[in-house]
Structure formats: structure tokens, C-alpha cells
A and B are shown apart, each in its own frame.
Chain A
Amino acid sequence: MSVAGLRRRALPIEALTAFGLISGPFVLPPLGFAPDTVNQILVWGVFGIGFDILFGYTGLLSFGQSAFFGTGGFIAAYLLTENMMSSVLAALLVGTTGAALVGIVVGAIALRRVGIYFAMITVAIAEMFFFLENSPLSAWTGGENGLPGVPTPIFEFGGFSYHVGTGWSMYGFLAVCYFVGIVIALRVVRSPVGAIFSAIRDPLRARAVGHAVGRYKLTAFVIAAAYAGFAGGLLGVLQGFMPPDAFTFDTSGQLVMQTAIGGRGTLFGPLLGAAVWLFLRDFLQAAAGLGAAWKLVLGVVFVLLVCFLRGGLIGGLRDLLKQVSETRRKAAPEEVPALSSPSPLASVGPSRRRQETPFSGPVLAARSLTKSFGGLIANKDINFSVEQGELRGVIGPNGAGKSTFFKMLTCELAPTSGRIIFHGRDITGMDVAAVCQLGLTKSYQVNQLFTGLTLRENLLIAALAERRGLFALDLLRRMDRVPGLDVQVESTLAMVGLTARADVPVADLAYGEKRRLEIGLALAASPSLLLLDEPLAGMSPRERAETVQLLKNIRRGRTLVVVEHDMEALFELAERITVLHEGALLAEGTPTEIQRNRLVQEAYLGGVAAA
């Protein structure tokens, strides 16, 4: 499910979908599909589009989508059966909106936690909705009877009215709905917001490159709720009746299973999964005479797929096709291509978007920075300042508190006391993403890359934050309509010398290339101050030399602070060195001064002369 891959696809998905939907009534009956079954498949398909965006793309597994399915369905059904609205389409839209609003509230609660806890909150909330429907609100929802008498749509075209009936007539209506749903979803997934959804699987880095991850998660959640609400309304119209079991856990579970079977992260997976599910149900019950065992077969198929075919049926098909047609993608070369000298155009200057008021004084100043964890004092009263254009080295023996110090500077960790001033502005206690947007970023000692994406897509994610700020709801915008995006990505690629490998998936990159991408991600945010945490970690001697050269290149027009253990490299790069020891500032000076400093020697060698 690559981001830009969708952009550059050879296949026109929308056209293929339209073709598929049009040919449905001719192709499916001979295969054994009854029109009502096909209609149900379409409804589940719509339900799943939104869920796949939430789970397949953004990675949030919710077992509570039935809450929104039911909400949207019952709102629409109520409006129609109580004759408060005559247009079915309008009622559906009201239901969808209602579900989306409920989604905002539920999402705000559930998304405070992740993983298993998030899933459990969604289950609890969905169960609450079921009970609400069943009892307190049963006057409106019909309780365990549901709401009968939901009408089918009537379309009027200048005197000529078309009344949607059942069977293939309903199919026409549902197919159009599905098509519209897919077209919108494809736009969303190809938009900047859609790209960021894929990056949220690595939330630490997504935040660190400047995205308001929480808001994007809520966006995905609300999209899923809206699609669920719309599908719920469609169910009522299809059946002429809104059933209470729309709210059950089984419904949520069925959606999850169908999506996993069909293939998550594909948008069409839920449709295929629903087809498999409903077809097997009909086939096994009627033809094979297995009666109630159809769900058992489905359960076993589901477990097998989860174990062996993570991408579901579509994913498996994709992998098969990839193996059959030899890919143009090369494996990581034995020799990493050497870093060429940067072209004159290759500079990622200070942000065009960010207004930088001229400022004199240190770029970064930390005053009395202290961090304690319970009784342990990791950083004590550190005063630290860096001037514009400097390349400062930070060293210290083990336990000196360097990583804690760095985390405080980027605001990944809040100090116990003290202040951090960046460009004259107090950033103490700010959010990591906000600090990145102000121009302070970090590259990590252990690579924090966006796995599952290509190199270019990684830089794209960072560049999107640089171009669009913390949060933008440009769901329907095309990626090539983001001003300056391509230039930002290309110039960062050139800076780190990886243009030739831009379309390689991250997993296939050599270690040295990944480290360069790691620095590239921080660069793509157009920082004025770049912190580098052990950029030479785990490198071969040749990679070290290349990275040192890279650092020399990127320091132009920027301020750099580098934590390193490789003294030779650091002394070659830095004009001044700060030494931390046992959580406090021990010394500061030029490399020569530091080397001559007795205190520093003793800190590292621990009084070896005495031994």
C-alpha cells in the first residue's frame, strides 16, 4: 500500500471499478450470486472503505465500528419512517453526518490510548451503543424490533421519476453509492492527509517531523465513522428495515474479518472479503448442505490468512504478481554508492514558509536545565548555548546524561526545571511537533524511519509537514498541488546523495543509506537547528568518512549539535565541544582545549594512573 505508488499507478482504478460494477449484473449471477447477496456485499463494501482507511492505512484496529453503522442507519431510518424527510438521499446524508459527529466524540475518547487499549475502548463503547439502542432509546429505535418501513429512493429528472426497487434496480443505486465512496476514498488516500495516515504507524517520527498526529488519527477515525454511518443507512434502505443487530459486536467483528480476508490497506479488500463471506455463507448452507458450519469454515480461513497471508487475498495476489513479473527494483548493492559532492542547487535552506525574524544572540540557549526521575538526577543545572552557524560537539562518558539532555532540547521530554530558549523564544514544555515546525529537529541514534514506505515517500512525509504546517485537512487535494513539495523532496534527496535510490523501499536499503535517510528526514523539515544523536553509530570506516563529509556539507546555513563517541570524527567537525559528566556540564572549549583538560581526561579514564 505505497503512497506515491497509488499516485503513479499504471492502472486507472476508478475506470476499472466502474467497469467492474457495470458488468456485475452480467458476470455474477452465473457464478451463483443472488442479487440480494450482491447488494449486501456492496453495503459491507462501503462500510469497509472507511474501516480500511482507519485500520489498513492508519493502523488503528477498532472493534467498535458497529456503533457508527447503527447510528447512521437509525438516524436515516428514523427520519424516513417518521416522515420527517422525504428524500432518501438527504436522510442518508444526515445519518452520515450524525455518525461522523458521534465519531468525533468517541474518537476523542478512544484515541487517547493505542493498540490493545484502544481496541478495548472501542469494544466497550460499541457495546454501550447497543444497550442504548435496545433500551433507553427504544422509543426511537424500536428496541429489539428495529425500524420497519424504510422506503427506497425515488429520483426525479424533470418530470420523469425513477423509483428504485429491489434486486438489480437496487443494485444500480448501491453501485453508484459504492463508486462515489471509492472515488472519494481514493482521493483521500492519495492526498497529503492520506500519505500522513500511512506514516502514523510510526507515530514517534511522524510527530518529530512536525505533524499533529493526534488530529490526523481523529480524522481517520471520523472518516471511518462517516462511511459506517452511510453504509448503515444503505442497509436500512436495502432491507426496507433497520435491524438492531447493526449495533452488535458481531457486526464489528464481521467487518474486521472481512477486511482481513480481502486484504487490508487496499480499499477494495472489504468488498472482496464480504463477497467471500456472503458467497460462502450462501454456498455452504445451500449447496454443500453443511448448514451451520459455514461460519466455521470462514473462521478457519480467517485464522489461516492472518497466520500466513498478512495482506489478505488481494495482498497475496499482489505478491504473486510481483514474483511472476520480475521487478525492476534492485536489491541493496554490495557497495553503497559513494556520496557525490552536492550540486549547487542542492541546498535545503531555511524554511520558505516560516517567517524568521532577524535575531541576534544564540540560536539555542538552555538555562539551568535539570531532569530528575524520582530520586535519580539525570541532568543537573545545565547551561548550554549555541551560536548561529556553529557545529557543536557534545561528548561524555556513559551515564553522563547526554540522551536525556538531547530529549529535553527537542521537547521529547519535559525538564523538571529550567528553560529552553530557541531563537529568543521560550519553547520549554512545547510539543515535539510544534518545536519541529519552529525549526528544531533531530536525527536519531537508532533509525526511526517510516517503514513500509519508499525512500522518497519517507522524505515526502517530512516535507509535507514543512510545507503544510502542523495540521491541514486537505483531504481532497492532489499531492502535486502542494506548492513547493517536489522541490523540497528533490533537494533533500540531493543533499544526502540518495537521488538514485529514491524509489527503493526502506526495508531494502543498505544500513549506510538508512542512516543518510535518517538525517534526510530531519533535513526535510528545513530546520535552522539540527541535533544529531550519534550519526556515526554502527558504521564501517568508509561509511564514517562519508557521513562526516555529509555533515560538513549540510552545516552550511544551519546550526548543528552532534552527540558522538567517535572522537576523531568529532574533533574534525566541531569548532567547540561541550563535555557532560554525571549529569552536569564538566567543560567546554575547542577540541584542543578539551584534550588538554585534566578533568575531562579523568572523567574518561577514571584515574587509571592510580590503578
Chain B
Amino acid sequence: MSVLLEVERINSYYGDSHILFDLSLRVERNEVVALLGRNGAGKSTTLKSLIGLVRPRSGRIVLDGTPTQGLPPHAIAALGLQLVPEERRIFGSLSVEENLVLAGLTAKSRWPLERVWATFPRLCERRRSRGTDLSGGEQQMLAIARALIREPKIVLLDEPFEGLAPIIVRDLLAVCRALAEAGQTIVVVEQNISAAMSLADRVYVINNGHIVEAMTAQAMRDQPDVLQRHLGV
């Protein structure tokens, strides 16, 4: 089956603030899906619902044939889903290498560290540095590497390019493109539209907790007024 992730009509809440309304989407193997939308639209909540940080009150999530709604995050991670959170949340008191080793501990199969260094040479230079001593860009790289080292079926990226200098964004984009070309399935939430569009195969637009558009990236490029309508001012 080429569908790796199937989300059926989930309703997620923050406290009792209703954030996602009957939200459905799907992710196919080897593709990059972008979730676009304004602030507060529900993009982050969608990713958090997938990884189990937020428990949807109704609906179904099926990851590679296994239903995951209601499972705790560590179980969903074990099934092959990895979230790179918006706040990155690397372990500041651990070194870069320890962060990576920790991530790989319970993975069924993992990248050898050499592969991480090859993908992120900057991290290799800083392998002994503590997390708190890293720059913003390096922290983001570490957060992404930490997710990838577990060879997840799907990697969820929550605003990976936020707050980074353009040159770092360019480098990270190159890394993501290479991963995508190598077959990694990615879901990316981004407000940096151009970065997201340059990666994505398909695009969903979320507005006020509803999916309002679903189309291929090319189709979105052919109809710029769609983006203007939903994300513009």
C-alpha cells in the first residue's frame, strides 16, 4: 500500500478549545507533504495529534496499517513516526553525540553515526559540545538528525526554518531535498511558503482547524490566488 499515513476526521482539543474539526489527510510513501496555514490554524496541533502529544477525541489515525490514535508518544515513535518539534527541544545538558545516541537507543534500526556526520558536517565538528552551547541553526540540525537517526517511516517537521538565517535555511533545505530524493517520507509544517513549496510534492492548507485546500504543489504554483486567499492578508 502506498498510503503510509491515513488520518480520518480527527477532532483535537487544547483544553476544551476545539482546534481541529473533522480533519482528514493522507501521506503516501516517499512523498513530501506540506501543511500550510496561518498562525493558529491548527498545523502544530495536527502534528502533535499524530505523535500522540495531543489525544484526538474522535477520529482515526493509521500508520502503515496500525491504528495509533490513543497511543502514548513512545509507542507511536516505536512504530516509526518522529516529530521534530517547533521548539527543537534538544537536551541542553547532553552533548551533541549523547543526544544522538539517546535517540537511537530504542530504534529498531538506526543510522550509524558516520552517516549523521556525513549529512550534517557541522554537527560532527561540534560533536562534544553541550546542547546549550549550540547556535540556533546547529540546534535545528541536531533536532532533525535526532529524528532521522531512528530511520523513521515518516518525519514530521514543525516549522524547521523558523528564526534561522537565510544561509542556514538554504543549507537545511538542501539536506531535506536530498533526504526526500533518497525516499524519506516527510510532512512539513511551515510559514515560510517558498521553502515549503520548494520541498513539497503535495500541499494541504489548513484554516481555522479545517482542511480547505488539497492539491499538488505544482497545481498550487499554477494558481497563486489560492495561497493569497488563505494565507495572505
Chains A and B in contact, CB within 8 Å: yes
- The interface of chain A, by Cβ under 8 A from chain B, is 395, 397-399, 446-447, 511, 514, 534, 537-541, 544, 565-567, 579, 594-595, 597, 600-601, 604-611
A611 and B193 form a contact (CB under 8 A): yes
A608 and B16 form a contact (CB under 8 A): no
B19 and A398 form a contact (CB under 8 A): no
Q: How far is the CB of A437 from chain B (nearest CB, A)?
A: 29
A397 and B191 form a contact (CB under 8 A): yes
B17 and A538 form a contact (CB under 8 A): yes
- What is the CA–CA distance of A579 and B221 in the complex, to the nearest angstrom? 26
A534 and B232 form a contact (CB under 8 A): no
The 9 closest A-B pairs by CB, nearest first: A538-B17, A611-B194, A611-B197, A606-B193, A565-B40, A608-B193, A398-B39, A398-B191, A565-B39
A605 and B39 form a contact (CB under 8 A): no
- What is the CA–CA distance of A398 and B18 in the complex, to the nearest angstrom? 20
- The interface of chain B, by Cβ under 8 A from chain A, is 14-19, 21, 38-41, 159, 162-163, 191-195, 197-198, 208-209, 221, 224, 227-228, 231-233
A604 and B233 form a contact (CB under 8 A): yes
A538 and B18 form a contact (CB under 8 A): yes
A608 and B194 form a contact (CB under 8 A): yes
Given A399-B162, A399-B163, decide whether A606 and B191 contact each other with a Cβ distance below 8 A.
yes
The interface residues of chain A lying within 8 Å CB-to-CB of B227 are 605, 608
Q: How far is the CB of B157 from chain A (nearest CB, A)?
A: 15
B195 and A606 form a contact (CB under 8 A): yes
A511 and B194 form a contact (CB under 8 A): no
- What is the CA–CA distance of A521 and B197 in the complex, to the nearest angstrom? 43
When C-beta atoms are compared, the residue in chain B nearest to A541 turns out to be B208
A609 and B15 form a contact (CB under 8 A): no
The interface residues of chain A lying within 8 Å CB-to-CB of B16 are 511, 514
Count A-B contacts at CB 8 Å. Answer: 77
A566 and B18 form a contact (CB under 8 A): no
Q: How far is the CB of B161 from chain A (nearest CB, A)?
A: 10
Given A594-B233, A595-B233, A600-B233, decide whether A607 and B194 contact each other with a Cβ distance below 8 A.
yes
- What is the CA–CA distance of A538 and B17 in the complex, to the nearest angstrom? 5
The interface residues of chain B lying within 8 Å CB-to-CB of A395 are 233
Q: How far is the CB of A179 from chain B (nearest CB, A)?
A: 44
The interface residues of chain A lying within 8 Å CB-to-CB of B208 are 541, 544, 566
- What is the CA–CA distance of A397 and B209 in the complex, to the nearest angstrom? 17
Q: How far is the CB of B140 from chain A (nearest CB, A)?
A: 14
Can you list 7 A-B contacts with CB-CB less than 8 angstroms, sorted by A residue number?
A: A446-B14, A565-B38, A604-B232, A605-B193, A606-B192, A611-B197, A611-B198
The interface residues of chain A lying within 8 Å CB-to-CB of B19 are 538
Among B159, B194, B221, B228, contact of A398 (Cβ-Cβ < 8 Å): B159
Q: How far is the CB of B160 from chain A (nearest CB, A)?
A: 13
A565 and B17 form a contact (CB under 8 A): no
Given A397-B39, A397-B191, A398-B191, decide whether A609 and B17 contact each other with a Cβ distance below 8 A.
no
Q: How far is the CB of A506 from chain B (nearest CB, A)?
A: 11
The interface residues of chain A lying within 8 Å CB-to-CB of B15 are 446-447
When C-beta atoms are compared, the residue in chain B nearest to A577 turns out to be B233
- What is the CA–CA distance of A434 and B39 in the complex, to the nearest angstrom? 32
Q: A600-B233, A605-B231 are in contact. List 19 more A-B contacts (CB 8 A).
A: A395-B233, A397-B191, A398-B39, A398-B159, A398-B191, A399-B163, A446-B14, A511-B17, A537-B17, A537-B40, A538-B17, A565-B41, A567-B233, A595-B232, A601-B232, A605-B228, A606-B192, A608-B224, A611-B198
